[in-house]
Amino acid sequence: MRSVALPIALALLSFASAAQAHPKLVSASPSPNATVTKPARIALQFSEKLMPKFSGADVMMTGHGGTTHPPMKVAATAEIAPDGRTLVIVPKSPLGAGRYSVAWHIVSADTHRVSGNFAFAVK
């Protein structure tokens, strides 16, 4: 009996871990490495629902006028859109021309923690 039960247990285990894949960033607006005109908001859509309390992003200005400077944090609010899986960041004042990086960290509803970052430019 043992020789049959073990393979079944292993098969169930691998099925369970496949079902709990980590959340992924599906799309971002502005998209990574894009140059855009004054975005009113930055939207990051993930593959799974997020826990609002543990999900957020920091937006940093990293350069402007052709120069690079130490990252300067942009004042912004972050909230989860009604779909439950999109993190929306709204800068308190419009983003000026320059380069920005977005460092995001999220916890999905199944408690997986993932983080990442990308850059875009405003012309």
Q: Where does this chain bind Cu ion (CB under 5 A)?
A: 61, 64, 98
Which residue, 24 or 69, has its beta carbon nearer to Cu ion?
69
Looking at residue 51, its amino acid is M
Angstrom distance (rounded) from CA 46 to CA 106: 9
Considering the complex, what minimum distance in angstroms separates the CB of residue 99 from Cu ion?
A: 8
Residue nearest to Cu ion (CB): 64
Give CA 15 to chain center in angstroms.
Answer: 26
Instruction: At 88, list the tokens.
Output: 């929306």
Considering the complex, what minimum distance in angstroms separates the CB of residue 78 from Cu ion?
A: 21
Which residue, 49 or 64, has its beta carbon nearer to Cu ion?
64
Looking at residue 93, its amino acid is S
